[in-house]
């Protein structure tokens, strides 16, 4: 089911730009389960993502993930794409001002709108942190898998400790070599201490072990 949804969504959102095309192959399959997994899961996931993007000033307080996605998809059809602007913020200004066609909005699925919003938001984070294109999108599978642990507060604290988001995701997936895993774990612990100075290392590691265990559980969709 996930593969068929990814196949359907990809042509719609990949047209936004090269970074989104990469997002479709690397990140989209990992977030589709939460996008199609029911309203409660989706609502929790979206609220965390929107909060992170707003805290990081990629989104304004009234920007909504699905609305930005809808605008990005429709605007791309008129060649309004991130690569055509000097900055990501200039692009965002353009799509915020873009006049949506309600008939076209009705043809774009919610999954497509949310997926496009995730891709656009991640691209804004890439520019903000001056990292390789496609890096920050790897935050979203963390949230999709465990939004209770990866709250907006925890994610923003993590981003103050490391921008190596790919290693973060690989750490929780269990795909890092021992030395790299130890280095990444140190950054996670540092972020936890910054967020909650009163928390003991034992408590931090206990929560971390639970979060890693949660990642091993198969998706319900």
Residue partners of 149: CB distance under 8 A and separation at least 6? 207, 210, 211, 214
Q: Determine the Cα–Cα distance for residues 45 and 20; give it in Å rounded to an integer.
A: 20
Query: Residues 111-169: pLDDT tens digits?
Result: 999 999 999 999 999 999 999 999 999 999 999 999 999 999 999 999 999 999 999 99
Query: How high is the pLDDT of residue 90?
Result: 97
d(CA 158, CA 168): 9
- pLDDT at residue number 22: 87
Query: Across residues 174-195, what is the average pLDDT?
Result: 95
Report the distance separating Cα 2 and Cα 7, nearest Å: 9
The residue extents of the domains of the chain are: 2-215
pLDDT, one tens digit per residue, over 24-45 is 999 999 999 999 988 999 999 9
pLDDT attached to residue 221: 45
């Amino acid at each position: 089911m996930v593969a068929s949804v990814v196949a359907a969504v990809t042509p719609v959102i990949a047209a936004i730009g090269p970074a989104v095309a990469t997002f479709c192959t690397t990140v989209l399959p990992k977030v589709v389960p939460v996008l199609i997994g029911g309203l409660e899961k989706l609502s929790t996931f979206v609220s965390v993502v929107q909060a992170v993007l707003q805290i990081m000033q990629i989104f304004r307080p009234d920007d909504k993930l699905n609305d930005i996605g809808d605008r990005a998809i429709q605007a791309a059809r008129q060649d309004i794409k991130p690569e055509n602007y000097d900055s990501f913020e200039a692009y965002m200004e353009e799509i915020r001002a873009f006049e949506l066609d309600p008939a076209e909005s009705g043809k774009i699925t919610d999954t497509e709108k949310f997926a496009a919003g995730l891709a656009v938001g991640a691209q804004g984070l890439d520019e903000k942190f001056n990292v390789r294109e496609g890096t920050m999108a790897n935050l979203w599978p963390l949230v999709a898998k465990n939004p209770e642990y990866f709250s907006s507060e925890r994610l923003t604290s993590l981003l103050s400790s490391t921008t190596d988001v790919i290693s973060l995701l690989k750490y929780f997936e269990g795909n890092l070599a021992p030395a790299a895993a130890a280095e990444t774990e140190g950054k996670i612990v540092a972020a936890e201490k910054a967020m909650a100075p009163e928390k003991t290392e034992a408590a931090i590691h206990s929560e971390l072990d639970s979060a890693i265990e949660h990642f091993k559980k198969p998706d319900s969709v």
